[in-house]
Structure 1
């Protein structure tokens, strides 16, 4: 009876071992040999491709403004081709002012632009116009006054020659006078008193001083 104890213990151990083997076979791959869940396989997600910065549309380069000829203030004076009237033109940069005068009753002030090539087109009241070209020390062209064309060539005027004007009021009367001082010293001008024209008195070409209706006035060089 004493030998049955160890045998029973051995049989019990074998039976337990067989049970454990059958249990492992049925559980499959759910656990590891250490009873731990297998590590999950992490599939790296595709990294988003960096967005490419869209190039900003290139702006068209600004065109440089054409540079105007920087002409200094210069006056030109002379007679019309038929020698009936005088013309003076004052030019500065790309601007010009001209005065046509017969010294009695007909006159016209004109103004406009001068192109880089010296071409000028000026206009005045009552359809007056002047078309000419500045070349070197002279302006050659035609002016049309009261529908009558006058050809002219005027040369550069050296002070005190040139174009002068006085606009003021004397004893309630509006005075507007224009003078052309020619290179040979002659003067051609008209003074309007309340818009009534008459031959202008002489001015002092060095100071511009002139007496109109007993009052001393000052005619000043015309600048565009």
Structure 2
């Protein structure tokens, strides 16, 4: 058996080297991107995060009346706002009562009364809400608008010849609570006829004045 000669061995080596070079060139050409060629991959743009905005709050009316019950405590409250001024009355029909008044701005309530009574809160077209302090106790409240005859009433009758003061809160459901105060004595006020605006005090018919934020703004 003859062994291949040197020339044959050299030619075989050249052919093998050329084949390897061609393979490497083909592999390199497939891996490298062509300059300026458009990319076939798609670009995903993230959607902006969803935003939620709170609904706008109802505007504060220039004139409105509210009546209802405080949260716990068994008392009722009425608030009347008129053109930048407000009057409020809190009463339990037994002993507790307080008249408060003050200015309003932007639907905010900041009212003061005798014996360190105070009320802070806000109001809009639907309700009045806040806290009221009277006789050393603090109550929270959220009360709806009140349409006549619901609302706040006041009278200044005579009881056995002495000056007295009566206040009533008529609720939207028609129920009412009130207090008759003579000096330091307080008792439940007699029933008020809201339609007629009258009540009988000490056997005498008296006229009860509907209270708004503009009436009765003197001494409470």
TM-score by length of 1: 0.66
2:99 alignment partner, one of 109, 115, 120: 109
Aligned pair 1:85/2:78, yes or no? no
SS of residue paired to 1:104 = coil
Q: Quick one: distance in 2 between partners of 1:136 and 1:159?
A: 16
Shift of 1:113: 1.0
Report what 2:20 is aligned to: none
Report what 1:176 is aligned to: 165
Q: Quick one: distance in 2 between partners of 1:70 and 1:187?
A: 26
1:208 alignment partner, one of 174, 197, 204: 197
Report what 2:15 is aligned to: none
Shift of 1:168: 3.1
Which deviations, in whole Å up to 9, do the C-alpha atoms of 1:34-55 show, x marking residues without a partner? xxxxxxxxxxxxxxxxxxxxxx
Comparing both chains, which one has the higher relative contact order based on Cα–Cα distances under 8 Å and sequence gaps of 6 or more? 2
Aligned pair 1:217/2:206, yes or no? yes
Contact 1:96 1:113 in 2 (8 A): yes
User: If you compute each CA radius of gyration, which structure gives the higher value, 1 or 2?
Assistant: 1
Which deviations, in whole Å up to 9, do the C-alpha atoms of 1:138-182 show, x marking residues without a partner? 101000112211000111101100000001335521120000000
Change (3 A) 1:159 1:89: same
Unaligned runs of 5+ in 2: 1-58, 214-220
Q: How does 1:32-181 map to 2 (within 5 A)?
A: 71-82=61-72, 84-116=74-106, 118-181=107-170
Q: Quick one: distance in 1 between partners of 2:204 and 2:149?
A: 22
CA RMSD of aligned residues (A): 1.7
